[in-house]
Amino acid sequence: MAISAKMVKDLREQTGAGMMDCKKALEETEGNTEAAVDWLRKKGLSSASKKAGRVAADGKVVAVVDGSRGLLLEVNTETDFTSKNEHFVAFAETSARLGLQADVTDVEQLKTLSYPGTERSVAEELTHKIATIGENMNLRRLARLSVTQGAVVAYIHMEGKIGVLVGLTSPSQDQAALADLGKKLAMHVAASAPPWLNRTEVPAEALERERNILAEQARSSGKPESIIDKMVLGRLDKFYGESCLLEQPFVMDPDQKVGGVVAAKAKELGTTIEVTAFVRYVLGEGIQKKEEDFAAEVAKAIG
């Protein structure tokens, strides 16, 4: 298939590889971007594969917690200016509280709830806000988190650019200590973006994909086949250390792993603490914003 300049540009932004290398990768993989990313990594040409999905959009991620349960909600709007509008912020925060109280599981359920102080539903209030503020808005996604005993803790970074929930299961009655630990872990998740909690959560296909990449890297460096499997096993430990929350170096003390920090706090409190789940939302992640042609817009306006 024909490889367009935009395909090359997008792959270059995603991987950080050179323009010609990106073109070659797309040609070798018949235009399959994901396969092209793998091709570049196997050749050692991609140093920024983690940039995938970092597409900007405006709005706000809000969180609300109530002891052992919490909810994360992303509400989008067209501009950063509107994301700071007090009416927009109030709508986002009220909607999140309503969702938590009603135990909704998705935004479609959230939209059917009655919006307080009005005779409108949340969906109708959203339409009202669009008409009032003058920008398009969207209730994009939500996630709930709960534990049977313990605490769910939230952290919002950069005024709603990143939102995190962390669930801690523990019989401890020291809610202040759990909240403090949970906030530190949530801050770590915000900064380090682990895809998974632990090794058992890594999907088989993701693990197999990584094995293939590591094996090809070893093979390309001239290593004999007899030791490649052992090399791959050793390098997978690094993969787990980068990808699994409990095995990552703790951002506030890189000499310790996150799992070790949790175990130390449990020992200090004389109890057990388990990180059971986490959710991390990045505002606008995966949304492709419209590319504006400013010159064309000006020409259209004056024409």
The stretch 62-69 carries a mean pLDDT of: 96
Looking up tokens 């307080």 gives 116
pLDDT of residue 45: 61
Q: Which residue is it, tokens 């009032």?
A: 132
Tell me the chain's radius of gyration from C-alpha atoms: 23
Lowest mean pLDDT among 71-75, 104-108, 166-170, 229-233: 229-233
Predicted confidence at residue 18, as pLDDT, reads 72
pTM, rounded to two decimals: 0.75
- The answer to whether the CB of 249 falls within 8 A of the CB of 238 is no
Q: Which domains are delineated in the chain?
A: 1-54 (1.10.8.10), 56-146 (3.30.479.20)
Residue 302 has pLDDT above 80, yes or no: no
- Confidence bin at 49 (pLDDT 50/70/90): very low
For the segment 82-99, what is each residue's pLDDT rounded down to a tens digit? 899 899 999 999 999 999
Q: What percent of the chain has pLDDT over 90?
A: 61
Q: pLDDT by residue (tens digit) across 224-282? A: 777 888 888 888 999 999 999 999 999 999 999 999 999 999 999 999 999 999 999 99
Give Cα separations from 85 to 60, 89, 92, 129, 288 (angstroms).
11, 6, 11, 11, 23
User: What is the tens place of the pLDDT at every residue in 118-151?
Assistant: 999 999 998 888 777 777 889 999 999 999 999 9
Give the rounded percent of residues in the chain with a pLDDT score beyond 70: 89
Does residue 156 register a pLDDT over 70?
yes
226 C-beta neighbours (distance < 10 Å), count:
7
Looking at the DSSP assignment, which residues form a beta bridge with residue 275? 168
